[in-house]
Every structure is written in structure tokens, then in C-alpha cells.
């Protein structure tokens, strides 16, 4: 993995794509598994590519080659080369069988890629992670997704130490061996790429359920976890069954093997992995119980279980031709899991949360040096491209396409896509083409969205002429240059809109050159840089509700007056746009506060409307909680150059304070107390939403009067029936700086010392506490015996939260936050390059900091870039950030 100093990893370009010179049709793998040293024998049936004279070049990294044979004959040393992470053989022929035997050291593998150990040597289990390029750490192979082969896998191990042996595909026999060893075999009838290979071996417990697919296949579902957490897997099983039904009903997709295994591990670089028939999950996204998981975590479990299951079609049956097409499976699958969660819960709340995430994670990514298109043109390390852009923006592009063609054609289009590309490695053109063909609409202009980085800005200006009742809406788009793309094209932007009158009633829509009554909502498609749309028959000046449901991933710049937004906030029946009107008002107020101008008009319009909504007893508590939450600090910071994160933190407080002051202490307190009196650990949607509102109210109370809020938080902590309330109370105690926080933290620690996921939250809640005291707290926590740089969840809970979600604590004026994280990064990089690279993305926005912080961050990055032993992962991120 580590490159010699001064030699950057090569740049891999989409434009250079070539089909493989040598491919493999059949893979037969035999593993002799042990913690310290495992052996792998691979028999590969070779398939010639376009040029049968070409040398064979297979990937292999960190492999100790023990034996190599061609058609059963040992290859003499001169017939092959093994250097630069490649195995090269000249003169092989189509149909020959290449056989290798290699040794691996799983317990020494701290990068958690390939075959590794989860947990401790004495008690842990072995597992694999192969996406994107982990299979080459297991055996020599053309490790690229357009090589699809049939796999037979045999596992052998000591029965006592490894009672459970699992691999992807269907079970195909098992038995005893000498010396207390046993074996198990698995055959996958579906050709698949190497990144979907998986095995698991060790001491695991399971829960099981039978499932019959809509097309009549009986499937055994098994969720596996270590004994101490197996009783926390029931919710995941429930979510799995609901996902399987939903995919049958909504996409007509059935599961296709006799077994489906899901395994939980505490040591995992990412969220989860969709290996064929053997999904492997970060425990954080699989385990759930009221005592140790928050409501939000339950939603994550539901979404990630669905996501990985949905990959069985969008990813596994139809995979990606190359890693540039990653969003083909990830963007589509995120869209699918978002739609599933919307169907299972409140659709407008789900949309609000997804758009908040997009703005926080993707818009900020796209606004800095790490900006890249949904289909990147180049990379050095593909693991650095599992990004919010590929995932979340990719999902938005699928959503736009689905909206453009309509639900019926979308279903016909996805059917066509799955049928036509089943068993193939496809491209984004295959997907967009199938939707276009099924709908009869030319979708090719939308392909430009996949190749163009940056967030478009949509400008809207309206003009009403009372003399003839006409309203002209002028839409214009622009996208700022990004590192590799100085000039941006106009993109097709669907703008879903309604026009409201001053009483908050949606008007019937009619365009000037048409007789058609469009109803009260329509979609305008902006295809040029600038276009005018003229509506007729309007007796009053309309208030446009634009981009309803967030119909395109753009930043809207509209010339609203505060009162107009307040009307939308009060009346728009579209829950998303109602929330959006409130966010726009908050931003309007914030911009003025930031510039030191009078913000009272916007603040008043916003908080008055919120106070009235607060008084409506029938408003959905989940929506109310979102309405009462101003945009995140990250979103606020996007609006400025020369950012001072402490100042922004302070201004966001002012927004919260304005809401709290306008509603007033007695109503806030009364509502909080009513919710608190009725609190339970029930998990139904409405209980969850009431808990969410209660949490927001406690936060507002703490801003208004800490003396009132602290005893409430203390009582809530002490009597909390479940984790959501307990953690919310702890957060308020910590954020108010209350002395009561200390005992609560100590109590929490005693209670959850043996619960890794709950302890992650113990670190995270402290890492999030803002302000100047943060760094000292983080340093102490990093030295805590419960902290470890070897565990990705722990690293992200402490260092990830600090650097990415605590701007006022991390971006200190004295630069000491950077120095601390730089040191941690260097140690971490030697252990786990993927996690180090992800942590380093926290510095993406350094150029937009005010000069003092900018200089400090710049110096830290330059120093880091100059270090000789950086991994390919971290080097790529640091160098791109510096470019
Ligand atoms: N395909 C996985 C998912 O469902 C992500 C795995 C990525 N792993 C990695 N090392 N980059 O999102
Ligand atoms: Zn995925």
C-alpha cells in the first residue's frame, strides 16, 4: 500500500478504459484459515481478451507467493514475474488453468481491507472486505469489476476456534477433517465481480427467519453477530424482510439465492457491504435496541439494511463496468433506499433530512478542492471516491430522471435496465438509455450532470403586471469553475413550482402561449442558461414556491421579501417547501447578521410564523422539530469567504435565541413538560417524532434560560427510558457547561463500558461540544484507554466529529486544532489509510477560512504532504486539497 517517497500513485483515467487483456471465467478458491497465517489456493480458468498474444497481468498486493502452476505444471521462475504489485506471465492460452497458493497474515492487517481479524486474537473472527480493490490482497486476480466469474469457495479451519464458516453463494456441502478441523463449500451460480467476494469464519451466533419470495423461492435469512450482541439484531431482521417485500412490490425484484446472510462486525471501514449472499455490516448500522440506540440510529439501520439488500439487483446482478461508474450502483441504490424509508416513515421528513445531509456533506464537498463529478474523470485511489457526490448527488440525479419520465415509465425503464444488463458490467449510459427508451424521452442532456462538478446556482426573478394579470418568471443558471473544469455548461434543471396568493392559496397555472390548465403545480425545465416563463390569468401578484420537494440539486437564489417567505412557511402544503421557506428566512436573517446589518425584518417574519405554527396543536411534531432548527453551521459557512467558524457558531446561536425568545419560556416549557410526562421507549413513528421535538425544545430552553433547562436535562437523563432521551439530555448538560454534566458522563460510562456502540456516542457527544475548550477535552479523550486508532468507529466518533462537526472547536485561531489532527493523521495513516484519508477531507474548505486560520491550515497541509511515508489514500487527498 505504501508508496516510496516522491513517487505519486499513477492517475487512472476514464478516457483510457480498455477491456481486460485476460479475464477469468471460473474461480475455485480453497482457504486454510487461521488468525496469524492463512493460506489461499486459487484455480482460475483463463479467458483471452481481444489480443490473445497479450501478456497476462494480474493484481496482487501483500501476497506471499508459495506456489504457481499452469495447467497443473509448476511454472519455472523465468516464466513469470511478481513485482510492483503485479503478476505477469507471457504466453498463456485461452482455457488454461492458472493455479496459485499464497499466504496471508490476517491479524496483522490493520487496514481492514482483504482478509482481516475483527476483535481480539483470542476471541475475534475472520472476515473480508473487497470493494473496491481488496480481492487483490487475497489472491492474484484481474481485480476489476468487468471481470465476472463463477465462484466455488471451500473453507477449512479448526472447528473449535472457527465453528461458523460462511462464504457467498449457496451452501454446497460441509464435513469433518482430521485434527479437529472442518470444511464448508459454497457455490455462487451467478457470475460476479471479485469485489463481491466475501467469507466469514469464527464464533458467531445467529437469528434466522424463513422467507418466501413473490416468485416462490424459499430463502433462509440469517443474521450473525457475536454472542454479546446477538439479541440486538431483531430490528435489522424486521427491516430486511420489509426491504425484500418492498423491492418485489416497487421494482419487481426478487431475491435469487437459497440463503441470505448478514454479519455484524465492530471493525469496518465503511457502513456496510453488499457481498453476494453475505452482506457484512458495520455493527453501527445493524445492531439496535432502545437502551443503546437512538431513534436516528434505528432509521439508519433500516436504511442501510435496505441499501445493501437492494444492491443485490442494483450492483450485483447488474454491476459497474469500471469504478468511474460507481454512482451507477451507489446513486441508484441510495435513491432506492431513500424511497423505501420515505414509504416506511414520513415522506416529507425524509426529504427534509436527505436534503439537509446533501447540503451539509455534498454541497460543501463540491465547493472546495475535492469537488468532482458524480462520474469522476480520474482518480489515484478509488477508495477516496466513495463520497457524498457519488452517493448523495448521484441519488439526486436518479430522482431528477425519475421525476422527468414519471413513475410508470420509470418502472418500465428500470425493468428494461435490469433485464438488458443482467449479468453484465454496465455504464451510466446504459441506465439513462434504458429510462429514455422506456419513456420515449431524450434524456441525453441529463448525462451532462454526471460529468460536471460543482453545484449550479439557480437565479429566479419574478415580475407581475397587474394591468394584464401576467407573471413573468425569469430563470437563469450558473456554475462556478471547479479544479478541472474552468467552463461550465448549462444543465437541464427541472423546477417544480406552484404560485400562491397572499392568502396562501395555490393558484391555477396557465402558461402564456398555451390554453392548457396545468392545475396548481407544474414542472418547468430550464435547459438554457437563461429562460423566461410567462403565466397568465393571475389576479394578484403571486408568491412562487420553487423547486418543490427539492426538484434539482441546486442552490436557489430568489428575490423573496421576508413576508412572502412567511406566507409559504405558514401555508405551503408541501412539507418540504414549507420547511425550505423557513430555512430561506433564517438564511436571510443570517446574511444580514453576518454583515452587521439590521436583520429584524427577516427575523420577525420567520419567528412570528414559527411561533404561530408552534401554537397549532395539530402540526406534525416531527415537522415542527425541523421547522424549529436553523441551517447547520456548515451550511451557513458555505455562504461566506474568509470564514471565522467561531463567529458563525455564535450567529447560529442568535438564530436559535430569536426563535426561543419569540415563542417564550412558558409555552416552550409547557410543551416540553407535556412531552416529557408522556415519554416512553416506544419505537412507533409518532413516539419517535415527539421525542425529536422534545429534544429540540430542551435545546431552545437551554438557550433561553440555562437555570431552567439544566434541572430538566438532569431529570431527563436520570429517568430516560431509552437512549434517545438519555443522549439528548447529556448533550444539553454538556453544551450548557453545567457542572451536572460530569456525573452524568461518569454514570453513562459505567453503564455502557462494555457496549462499544454506546461508548462511541460517549466519545462523540463530548467531541461535539463547541468552543475554545474543545481541544483540551479531545486531547484528554484521545489518551483515554478506551480510545483506539485501530477501530474506525472510535476514530470517527472522536476525531471525525471533532474535525468535521465541531468547526468552532477544530478551526482554532491559533492553529492548534490542525497540529493535533495532523499528528493523529500520521499515526492513523500507518494503520488504516482509508480512514486517515476520510478524516483528512475535513480540511477541504481551508482556502475559504479567514487569513490566520488559512495560513495555519495551509502550513499543516504542506508539512503533511512533504512526509515521505504517506499512503496513496492520504497523499491523494492532501495533494488535491493543496492544488
Ligand atoms: N458498496 C458499499 C456500500 O454499499 C460501500 C463499500 C465501500 N468500501 C470501500 N472500502 N470503499 O455503500
Ligand atoms: Zn452502496
Taking only the tens place, the pLDDT of each residue in 784-810 is: 999 999 999 999 999 999 999 999 999
Q: What is the pLDDT of residue 3?
A: 44
Q: Could you give the CA distance from residue 739 to residue 746 in angstroms, rounded to a whole number?
A: 12
Those residues whose beta carbon sits under 5 angstroms from the ion ligand 2 are 330, 333
Q: Could you give the CA distance from residue 393 to residue 369 in angstroms, rounded to a whole number?
A: 17
Q: pLDDT by residue (tens digit) across 206-236?
A: 999 999 999 999 999 999 999 999 999 999 9
Q: Could you give the CA distance from residue 655 to residue 214 in angstroms, rounded to a whole number?
A: 51
Query: How many whole angstroms from 327 Cα to the centroid of ligand 2?
Result: 9
Q: Could you give the CA distance from residue 502 to residue 522 in angstroms, rounded to a whole number?
A: 20
Q: Could you give the CA distance from residue 761 to residue 292 in angstroms, rounded to a whole number?
A: 9
Cβ contacts of 533 within 8 Å, gap of 6 or more:
472, 473, 474, 475, 511, 524
Pocket test for ligand 1, best of 112, 273, 320, 329 (most atoms within 8 A of CB): 273
Which residue owns the Cα nearest ligand 1 atom 4?
273
In terms of DSSP H, where are the helices of 440-540?
447-451
Query: How many whole angstroms from 134 Cα to the centroid of ligand 2?
Result: 16
Q: Using the atom order of ligand 1, give the atom closest to the CA of residue 386.
A: 11
Task: Over range 667-671, report the average pLDDT.
Answer: 98
DSSP structural state of residue 8: P
Q: What is the pLDDT of residue 6?
A: 55
* Number of the ligand closest to the Cα of 273: 1
Cell numbers representing residue 20 in the block: 481486460
Torsion sign over Cα 704, 705, 710, 715: negative
Cβ contacts of 780 within 8 Å, gap of 6 or more:
none
Cβ count near 62 (within 10 Å): 17
Q: Could you give the CA distance from residue 424 to residue 393 in angstroms, rounded to a whole number?
A: 24
Query: How many whole angstroms from 679 Cα to the centroid of ligand 2?
Result: 35
* Number of the ligand closest to the Cα of 333: 2
Q: Could you give the CA distance from residue 274 to residue 808 in angstroms, rounded to a whole number?
A: 37
Task: Over range 387-391, report the average pLDDT.
Answer: 98
Task: Over range 294-320, report the average pLDDT.
Answer: 98
* Number of the ligand closest to the Cα of 387: 1
Which residue owns the Cα nearest ligand 1 atom 2?
273
Using the predicted structure, report yes or no on whether residue 1 has a pLDDT greater than 50. no
Cβ contacts of 448 within 8 Å, gap of 6 or more:
489, 491, 492
Using the predicted structure, report yes or no on whether residue 543 has a pLDDT greater than 60. yes
Q: Could you give the CA distance from residue 9 to residue 381 in angstroms, rounded to a whole number?
A: 8
Burial class (CB in 10 A: 0-12, 13-18, 19+), 462: buried
Pocket test for ligand 1, best of 386, 387, 391 (most atoms within 8 A of CB): 386
Q: Using the atom order of ligand 1, give the atom closest to the CA of residue 330.
A: 12
Cβ contacts of 216 within 8 Å, gap of 6 or more:
none
Cell numbers representing residue 234 in the block: 431483531
> How many Å from the N-terminal Cα to the C-terminal Cα in the chain?
23
* Number of the ligand closest to the Cα of 275: 1
CB 262 within 8 A of CB 166: no
Task: Over range 53-69, report the average pLDDT.
Answer: 98
* Number of the ligand closest to the Cα of 196: 1
Q: pLDDT by residue (tens digit) across 166-183?
A: 999 999 999 999 999 999
Cell numbers representing residue 196 in the block: 463481491
Query: How many whole angstroms from 466 Cα to the centroid of ligand 2?
Result: 52
Using the predicted structure, report yes or no on whether residue 632 has a pLDDT greater than 50. yes
CB 826 within 8 A of CB 352: no
Q: Give me the percent of the chain exceeding a pLDDT of 90.
A: 98
How far CA 486 is from CA of 204, 393, 762, 876, in Å, comes to 53, 21, 45, 21
Query: How many whole angstroms from 308 Cα to the centroid of ligand 2?
Result: 6
DSSP string, 506-564: BPP--BTT-----TT-EEEEE-SSEEEEEE---SS--EEE-STT--SS-EEEE---HHH
Q: Could you give the CA distance from residue 518 to residue 499 in angstroms, rounded to a whole number?
A: 12
Residues recognised as catalytic? 308
Q: Could you give the CA distance from residue 146 to residue 46 in angstroms, rounded to a whole number?
A: 14
Pocket test for ligand 1, best of 113, 130, 131, 877 (most atoms within 8 A of CB): 131
Q: Could you give the CA distance from residue 408 to residue 396 in angstroms, rounded to a whole number?
A: 19
CB 481 within 8 A of CB 488: yes
Q: What is the pTM of this model?
A: 0.98
Query: How many whole angstroms from 877 Cα to the centroid of ligand 1?
Result: 18
Task: Give one word for 189, left, alpha or beta, with left for phi > 0 and alpha for psi -120 to 50.
Answer: alpha
Residues with CB under 6 A from ligand 1: 131-132, 269-274, 307-308, 311, 330, 383, 386, 834
Task: Over range 519-540, report the average pLDDT.
Answer: 97
∠ Cα 619 503 630 (to 5°) = 45
Q: What is the pLDDT of residue 5?
A: 47
Q: Using the atom order of ligand 1, give the atom closest to the CA of residue 391.
A: 12
DSSP structural state of residue 215: T
Mean pLDDT, rounded, of the chain = 97
46 strand-pairing partners: 24
Q: Is 210 helix (H, G, I), strand (E, B) or coil?
A: strand
Query: How many whole angstroms from 213 Cα to the centroid of ligand 1?
Result: 26
Task: Over range 239-265, report the average pLDDT.
Answer: 99
Q: Using the atom order of ligand 1, give the atom closest to the CA of residue 134.
A: 10
* Number of the ligand closest to the Cα of 145: 1
**Size of the chain in residues:** 883
CB 562 within 8 A of CB 585: yes
Query: How many whole angstroms from 219 Cα to the centroid of ligand 2?
Result: 23
Amino acid at each position: 500500500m505504501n508508496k516510496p517517497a516522491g513517487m505519486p500513485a499513477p492517475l487512472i483515467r476514464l478516457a483510457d478504459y480498455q477491456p481486460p487483456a485476460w479475464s477469468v471465467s471460473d474461480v475455485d478458491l480453497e482457504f486454510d484459515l487461521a488468525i496469524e497465517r492463512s493460506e489461499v489456493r486459487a484455480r482460475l480458468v483463463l479467458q483471452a481478451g481481444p489480443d490473445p498474444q497479450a501478456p497476462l497481468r494480474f493484481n496482487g498486493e501483500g501476497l506471499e507467493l508459495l506456489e504457481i502452476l499452469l495447467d497443473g505444471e509448476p511454472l519455472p521462475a523465468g516464466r513469470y514475474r511478481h513485482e510492483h504489485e503485479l503478476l505477469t506471465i507471457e504466453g498463456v492460452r485461452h482455457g488454461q488453468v492458472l493455479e496459485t497458493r499464497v499466504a496471508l497474515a490476517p491479524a496483522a492487517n490493520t487496514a481492514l481491507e482483504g482478509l482481516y481479524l475483527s476483535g481480539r486474537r483470542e476471541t475475534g473472527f475472520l472476515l473480508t472486505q473487497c470493494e473496491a480493490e481488496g480481492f487483490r490482497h487475497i489472491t492474484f486476480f484481474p481485480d476489476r469489476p468487468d471481470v465476472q466469474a463463477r465462484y466455488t469457495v471451500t473453507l477449512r479451519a479448526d472447528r473449535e476456534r472457527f465453528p461458523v464458516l460462511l462464504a457467498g453463494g449457496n451452501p454446497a456441502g460441509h464435513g469433518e477433517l482430521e485434527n479437529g478441523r472442518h470444511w464448508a463449500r459454497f457455490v455462487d451460480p451467478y457470475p460476479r465481480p471479485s469485489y463481491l467476494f466475501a467469507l466469514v469464519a469464527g464464533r458467531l451466533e445467529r437469528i434466522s427467519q424463513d422467507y418466501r419470495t413473490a416468485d416462490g423461492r424459499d430463502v433462509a435469512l440469517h443474521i450473525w453477530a457475536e454472542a454479546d450482541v446477538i439479541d440486538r439484531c431483531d430490528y435489522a431482521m424486521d427491516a430486511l424482510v420489509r426491504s425484500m417485500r418492498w423491492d418485489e412490490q416497487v421494482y419487481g425484484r426478487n431475491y435469487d439465492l437459497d440463503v441470505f446472510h448478514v454479519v455484524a462486525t465492530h471493525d469496518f471501514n465503511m457502513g456496510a457491504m453488499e457481498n453476494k449472499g453475505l452482506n457484512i455490516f458495520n455493527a453501527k448500522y445493524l445492531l439496535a435496541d432502545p437502551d443503546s440506540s437512538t431513534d436516528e440510529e434505528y432509521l439508519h439501520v433500516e436504511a442501510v439494511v435496505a441499501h445493501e439488500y437492494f444492491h443485490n439487483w442494483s450492483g450485483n446482478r447488474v454491476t459497474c463496468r469500471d469504478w468511474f461508474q460507481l454512482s451507477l450502483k451507489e446513486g441508484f441504490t441510495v435513491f432506492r433506499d431513500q424511497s423505501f424509508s420515505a414509504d416506511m416513515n414520513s415522506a416529507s421528513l425524509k426529504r427534509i433530512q436527505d436534503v439537509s445531509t446533501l447540503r451539509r456533506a455534498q454541497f460543501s464537498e463540491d465547493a472546495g478542492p475535492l469537488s468532482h463529478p458524480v462520474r469522476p474523470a480520474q482518480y489515484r485511489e478509488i477508495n477516496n471516491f466513495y463520497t457524498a457526490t457519488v452517493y448523495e448527488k448521484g441519488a439526486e440525479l436518479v430522482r431528477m430522471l425519475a421525476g422527468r419520465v414519471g413513475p410508470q415509465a420509470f418502472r418500465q425503464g428500470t425493468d428494461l435496465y435490469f433485464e438488458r444488463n443482467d449479468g453484465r458490467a454496465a455504464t451510466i449510459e446504459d441506465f439513462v438509455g434504458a429510462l429514455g427508451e422506456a419513456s420515449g424521452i431524450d434524456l441525453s442532456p441529463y448525462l451532462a450532470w454526471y460529468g460536471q462538478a460543482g453545484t449550479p446556482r439557480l437565479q429566479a426573478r419574478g415580475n407581475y403586471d397587474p394591468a394584464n394579470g401576467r407573471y413573468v418568471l425569469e430563470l437563469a443558471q450558473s456554475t462556478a469553475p471547479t479544479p478541472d473544469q474552468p467552463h461550465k455548461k448549462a444543465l437541464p434543471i427541472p423546477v417544480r413550482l406552484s404560485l400562491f396568493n397572499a392568502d396562501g392559496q395555490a393558484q391555477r397555472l396557465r402558461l402564456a402561449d398555451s390554453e392548457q390548465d396545468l392545475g396548481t403545480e407544474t414542472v418547468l425545465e430550464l435547459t438554457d442558461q437563461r429562460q423566461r416563463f410567462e403565466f397568465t390569468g393571475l389576479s394578484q401578484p403571486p408568491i412562487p414556491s420553487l423547486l418543490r420537494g427539492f426538484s434539482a440539486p441546486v442552490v436557489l437564489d430568489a428575490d423573496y421579501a421576508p413576508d412572502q417567505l412567511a406566507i409559504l412557511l405558514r401555508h405551503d402544503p408541501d412539507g418540504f417547501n414549507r420547511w425550505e421557506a423557513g430555512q430561506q428566512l433564517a438564511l436571510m436573517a443570517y446574511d444580514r447578521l453576518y454583515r452587521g446589518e439590521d436583520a429584524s425584518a427577516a427575523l420577525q417574519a420567520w419567528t412570528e410564523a414559527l411561533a404561530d405554527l408552534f401554537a397549532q396543536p395539530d402540526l406534525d411534531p416531527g415537522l415542527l422539530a425541523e421547522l424549529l432548527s436553523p441551517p447547520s453551521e456548515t451550511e451557513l459557512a458555505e455562504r461566506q469567504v474568509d470564514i471565522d467558524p467561531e463567529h458563525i457558531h455564535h450567529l447560529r446561536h442568535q438564530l436559535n435565541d430569536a426563535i426561543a425568545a419569540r415563542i417564550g419560556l412558558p409555552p416552550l416549557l409547557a410543551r416540553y413538560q407535556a412531552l416529557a410526562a408522556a415519554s416512553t421507549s416506544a419505537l412507533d413513528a409518532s413516539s419517535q417524532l415527539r421525542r425529536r421535538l422534545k429534544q429540540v425544545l430542551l435545546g431552545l430552553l437551554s438557550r433561553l434560560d440555562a437555570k431552567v433547562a439544566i434541572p430538566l436535562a438532569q431529570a431527563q437523563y436520570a429517568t430516560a427510558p431509552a437512549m434517545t432521551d438519555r443522549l439528548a439530555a447529556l448533550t444539553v448538560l454538556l453544551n450548557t457547561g453545567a457542572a451536572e454534566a460530569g456525573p452524568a458522563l461518569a454514570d453513562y460510562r459505567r453503564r455502557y463500558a462494555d457496549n462499544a456502540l454506546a461508548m462511541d456516542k460517549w466519545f462523540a457527544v463530548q467531541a461535539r461540544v463547541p468552543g475554545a475548550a474543545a481541544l483540551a477535552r479531545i486531547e484528554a479523550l484521545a489518551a483515554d484507554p478506551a480510545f483506539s486508532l485501530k477501530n474506525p468507529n472510535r476514530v470517527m466518533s472522536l476525531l471525525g466529529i471533532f474535525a468535521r462537526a465541531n468547526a468552532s472547536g477544530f478551526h482554532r485561531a491559533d492553529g492548534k486544532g490542525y497540529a493535533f489532527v495532523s499528528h493523529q493523521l500520521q499515526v492513523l495513516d500507518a494503520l488504516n489509510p482509508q480512514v486517515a484519508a476520510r478524516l483528512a477531507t475535513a480540511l477541504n474548505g481551508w482556502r475559504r477560512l479567514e487569513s490566520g486560520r488559512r495560513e495555519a491550515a495551509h502550513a499543516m497541509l504542506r508539512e503533511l504532504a512533504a512526509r515521505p511515508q504517506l499512503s496513496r489514500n492520504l497523499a491523494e487527498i492532501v495533494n488535491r486539497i493543496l492544488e
